[in-house]
Amino acid sequence: MKEILLVLFIFSIVLTAMVNRLRTYVKLLAFQGLVLFALSFIELDEITPANLAWISIETLLFKSVAVPWFLFHLINRNKITREAEPFLPHFASLIITVLIIAASYALTTLINDLNADRISFVTALSTLFFGLYFICSRRKILSHLIGYIIIENAVFILTLSIGNEMPLLVNLGVLLDIFASVLLMGFFAGKIGDVFKTDDISSITSLRD
């Protein structure tokens, strides 16, 4: 079951590389949140009300509901109806994504004393590298924010691969970090839309003191 969920998560990454609309990106983020909830539930050694409440808040409530709702709010507020305008064609992005997954797998095989779960580690590395590539290959500021959230999901999977127990303090720090980042970048994206009437990163080059 765990392997199926990880394959579904990687499939969502590949699909993210193929589509070009911000609303579709947000829907895929919500789907990733559901997958992370299922993975967290499987990895729990002891199912208690406290553990179940924590992973529900962090994955279902925050990643699958709050963050997508906030991103949809930014999209509607800035009246973004155009496509995401990537720097590279979608076919090239798909090839690069497949190469990222293959390179992550090859890198994992070179680590002989890997204590983490190997499949989870491959998924985490693939998601991390894809998030960096996604930020570098997209024009819109909201796309960069989505790429950052993808990287945060990679960190979450990595914490799961290190051990069976949920690292509460690590996840709490990551949760606070992504919450603050979403608020700050959302505010920034909103101001860019108000001043420049666009959310393209090229508009930032015209800023002056």
156 near 171, Cβ under 8 Å? yes
User: What is the per-residue pLDDT across 133-160, written as a single tens digit (0 to 9) for each?
Assistant: 998 888 777 888 888 889 888 888 887 7
- Rounded to whole angstroms, what are the CA distances from 202 to 141, 143, 148, 199, 205? 10, 13, 19, 9, 6
Mean pLDDT, to the nearest integer, of 166-184? 60
Closest to 125 measured CA to CA, from 98, 107, 147: 107
pTM of the full predicted structure? 0.80
Asked if the model's pLDDT at residue 186 lies above 70, the reply is no
User: What is the per-residue pLDDT across 89-114, written as a single tens digit (0 to 9) for each?
Assistant: 778 888 999 999 999 999 888 876 66
Q: What is the pLDDT of residue 209?
A: 45
Rounded distance between C-alpha atoms, residue 161 and residue 64, angstroms: 21
186 near 70, Cβ under 8 Å? yes
pLDDT above 90 covers a percentage of the chain that reads 17
Q: What is the pLDDT of residue 152?
A: 84
- State the chain's maximal CA–CA distance in angstroms: 55
